[in-house]
Chains A and B, each alone.
Chain A
C-alpha cells in the first residue's frame, strides 16, 4: 500500500500519465468524429503509423516540428479520404475497408522507412519538441506542446459538435441520414468531411510518438494504441469529455504498471497483469455501457440515397 501512495505522490507519475494519454486523446477524438458521423474507421492503427513516420521524416528532412505535425495531419487526411471514398462513396464494408487501410498504411510506412534508410541499424533521431517549462503550471509544464494541443482540442471539438451548425449536421448524419438529407444536408459530403478530419487527428496522434515522446521512428511503435482508441470511444459514450477521462485512465494504468514493476509488489505480481488492466477495464466498461449505449443510431449502416 505504501508503495502505492509513494507512487501517486510523486509528480513524475502524473507527468508520465499525461504523456502516455496524449496520443490516446488525439486518436480517440479522431475515431469519435468518424463514428459520430456514422462511420467506423478501423484504419486508425495504420494511420497512426503513417502519421508517426511521415511527421518524423518531414522533420528529418528539414521542416520545423510543427511542419512535421502538419505533414502527419495531411497524411492522415489522405488515408481518411481513401476510407471515405470506399465506405461512403462505394458503400463497401466499413470493417474490411478499415482493416485494409491499416495494413496498407502500415506497410507503406515501413517500406518508405526502409527505402529512405536502407543501411541503418539504430534509427536516426531528430530533435523533438521541448518541454513547455515556461508555462509555470505543474505537471503541464513538463509536457510538450502537442499535449497542450490535445487538451485544448477536447473542449474545441465538444464545442464544435454541440454548438455549431456543422457539428449538428455531423451528429444528424450519424443518427438519421434520411432526416439530414430531407433537411437539405448532404450525407455523403458531411460523412466524408468528418472522416477526413478525424483521420487527420489520428495522424497527429501518431506523430506525437515520433516528435515528442520519442525522437525516432521504430517498427511496432504504435503497438495497438489505435485499437485502444476504438474501445475508448465506446467507453466514452461518444463524448469528447469522457474520451479525455478514458485516455487519462488508460495512461494512469500504464504509468502505474511501469512503476509497480520496480517496486515490491512487482516481485509478486507479474508486470503483465498490470499491463492487462487497462484493456480488461475497457472491456468491462464496454459491457456496462452496452446496456444503455447512446449509439449513434446510423453507425455502420451504409446509406444509399434514393433507394426504395
Chain B
C-alpha cells in the first residue's frame, strides 16, 4: 500500500470523504444491532429520539455534553501545540476536589466567606489544580524529553488514588453513612438550572463561553498565533520569533485549567459533591471529541453534543430494546477512526502496490 499526495484538492473527495465516514459508522453499528437481534432502523430512531427527540432528551444530552465540551477544549488547546495531554481525567478530579476544598461545608476546608467571593475562588482553585498537574509533565518534556503521553496517563491513576484517600479521610462526608463521597458544596455555590425540572445547568453556559473564549484566543491573540505556529512547525515558529518554552508552558496551564474547571463545574452543577465514579471517562472522551472537531474550539461544541447525544440516546434506547448501551462508544470510536481516514483521503490517494 502506498500513499500518493494529491496535487489538487479533489472536490469529489471532499464530498465523498465525510459521507464515507458516516456510512462506515452506520454500517458498523448496524451490524452490531443485528447481532443483538434488534431492528436496525427502529434502533437508530430510538437512539436519535433518546438523545435529541424531546426537551427532556436534549436537556440530558446537554448536561452530559457540558463536561465533555470542557475536556474537549482542554485536549484541543494541548493537541494544537502537539502537547499530548492524556491526563484530563486526573486534572478533572483534581479540579473537583479543589473546588470542594474551597467551597465545601463542614469537614472540608470550606471557608466562611460570601458566595460572590467564594464562587470565583472555587473556580480559580479548580483551574489552578488542573493547570499545575499538567505543568509537571510539560516541563519534563521540555527539559528532559520525557514523553508526556505516559506521564500524564500515569498521573491519572495517582490523582484518582489521591482523591480516594481524601474521600476516605479528611474530606469525607460524615453524613453519607460510610459511602465514599466528599463533603458537599455549599448550597449557594451550586450552579442554577437552565431549564426547570431538568438536570441541565448553567455550567453549559460556562462551557459555551469558554469555547468562544478559546476560539477568540486562538484567532485574535498573539498567544493563539504562537500556539498554532508552534504546533504546525516548531522550527519555522522559532525562526519567526515565537518564544517556544513560554508558549508551551502557557498551553499546559490552559489545558490543565480547562480540565480542572470541568471537574468543578460537574460538582457545582450536577452532583454537588465528589465521588470516585463521577466521571465515566470524560477526560478520555474529551480527546476523542477534540479529534472529531478537527481541533477547532467551536467544533468541539458540536462534537461534544454529538457524542453526548449518542451516549444519552443509547442509554434511553437500551431501556426499550435489547441493544446494550455500549453501542454508543462503538459509534463514537468508529466515527473517530473513519473521520481520520476520510480526512487523509482528501489529501492523499492510496495506491496498492
Contact = CB atoms under 8 A, between A and B. Distances in A.
Contact of B145 (A93, A111, A290): A290
B157 A279 contact: yes
B337 A97 contact: yes
Given A99-B284, A99-B288, A107-B329, A90 B146 contact: no
B27 interface: no
A287 B151 CA distance: 9
Name the residue among B140, B147, B150, B157 with the largest chain A CB count within 10 angstroms.
Answer: B150
B330 A104 contact: yes
Given A111-B327, A270-B169, A95 B84 contact: yes
Given A107-B333, A270-B165, A291 B150 contact: no
Nearest to A94: B149
Interface stretch (A56-64, A157-165, A223-231): A223-231
B316 to A, nearest CB: 16
A286 B32 contact: no
Main secondary structure of the interface of B (DSSP, over half): helix
Contacts of A228: 154
Interface in B148-194: 149-151, 153-158, 161-162, 164-165, 168-169
Given A92-B341, A115-B35, A276-B158, A234 B288 contact: no
A115 B318 CA distance: 11
B127 interface: no
A136 interface: no
Nearest to A104: B333
Contact of B324 (A95, A110, A280): A110
A103 B288 contact: yes
Contacts of B288: 99-100, 103
Name the residue among B145, B284, B333, B340 with the largest chain A CB count within 10 angstroms.
Answer: B333
Contacts of A40: 149
A272 interface: yes
Interface residues of B, number: 51
Given A107-B326, A234-B147, A270-B168, A100 B337 contact: yes
A282 B146 CA distance: 12
A103 B3 contact: no
Contacts of B153: 227, 230-231
A99 B144 CA distance: 25
A227 B86 CA distance: 11
A249 to B, nearest CB: 14
Contacts of A96: 291, 336, 340
Given A111-B327, A111-B330, A282-B154, A276 B162 contact: yes
Contacts of B36: 115
A97 B333 CA distance: 10
A127 interface: no
A231 B168 CA distance: 28
B154 A103 contact: no
Contact of A107 (B84, B154, B330, B344): B330
Interface in A265-283: 270, 272-273, 275-276, 279-280, 282-283
A300 to B, nearest CB: 9
A293 B284 CA distance: 28
Nearest to B322: A118
Given A110-B324, A287-B140, A42 B329 contact: no
Contact of A86 (B86, B155, B327, B337): B337
A301 interface: no
Contacts of A93: 340
Contacts of A280: 154, 158
Given A90-B341, A270-B165, A272-B168, A231 B154 contact: yes
Given A103-B284, A291-B144, A304-B3, A114 B165 contact: no
B332 interface: yes
B196 interface: no
A110 B326 CA distance: 6
A179 interface: no
Contacts of B341: 86, 90, 92
B334 interface: yes
Interface string B333-353: 110110011001000101000
A221 interface: no
A258 interface: no
A224 B157 contact: yes
Given A42-B149, A279-B154, A99 B327 contact: no
Nearest to A230: B150
A268 B103 CA distance: 27
B337 A276 contact: no
Q: Which 6 A-B pairs have CB atoms at the shortest separation, nearest pair first? A: A107-B329, A114-B324, A104-B333, A272-B165, A111-B326, A103-B333
28 contacts: A90-B1, A90-B341, A96-B340, A97-B337, A99-B86, A100-B288, A103-B284, A104-B337, A107-B333, A108-B32, A111-B324, A114-B324, A115-B32, A118-B322, A118-B324, A188-B1, A224-B157, A230-B153, A270-B168, A276-B157, A276-B161, A279-B155, A280-B158, A282-B150, A283-B151, A286-B151, A304-B3, A305-B2
Interface of A: 40, 42, 85-86, 89-93, 95-97, 99-101, 103-104, 106-108, 110-112, 114-115, 118, 188, 224, 227-228, 230-231, 234, 270, 272-273, 275-276, 279-280, 282-283, 286-287, 290-291, 293, 304-305
Given A107-B328, A107-B329, A280-B158, 10 more contacts: A90-B344, A90-B350, A103-B333, A106-B329, A111-B329, A114-B326, A224-B156, A273-B165, A283-B155, A287-B140
